[in-house]
Amino acid sequence: MRLLGAVLAGGRSRRFGSDKALALMADGRMLIDHAVAAIAPHVETVVVCGRTVEGMTSLSDRPGPDMGPLGGLNAALHHARDEGYDAVLTTGCDMPVYPAALVEALAGEGAAVLKGQQLAGFWPAGLADELDAHLAEENSRSIYGWLERIGARIVERADIVLPNINRPQDLAGLPKS
Query: Average pLDDT in the 122-141 region?
Result: 93
Task: Give residue 174's pLDDT band: very low, low, confident or very high (50, 70, 90).
Answer: low
- Residue 10 assigned to a binding site: yes
CATH at 155? 3.90.550.10
Q: What one-character DSSP code corresponds to residue 68?
A: T
Q: pLDDT (tens digit, 9 = 90+) per residue, 76-104? A: 999 999 999 999 999 999 899 999 999 99
Backbone angles phi, psi at 59, to 5 degrees: -115, 135
pLDDT beyond 60 at 118? yes
**The domain containing residue 95 runs over which residues?**
3-171
Which residues are CB-contacts of 165 (< 8 A; sequence separation ≥ 6)?
16, 20, 23, 31, 94, 95, 96, 171, 174
* pLDDT score at 163: 84
pLDDT > 90: percent of the chain: 67
Q: pLDDT (tens digit, 9 = 90+) per residue, 17-33? A: 667 877 777 788 889 99
- Residue 17 assigned to a binding site: no
Q: Is residue 177 situated within a structural domain?
A: no
Q: Is residue 123 situated within a structural domain?
A: yes
Task: Give residue 176's pLDDT band: very low, low, confident or very high (50, 70, 90).
Answer: low
Q: Is residue 41 situated within a structural domain?
A: yes
Query: Average pLDDT in the 150-175 region?
Result: 83
CA distance 58 to 36: 12
Q: Total domain count for the chain?
A: 1
- Residue 82 assigned to a binding site: no
pLDDT beyond 90 at 46? yes
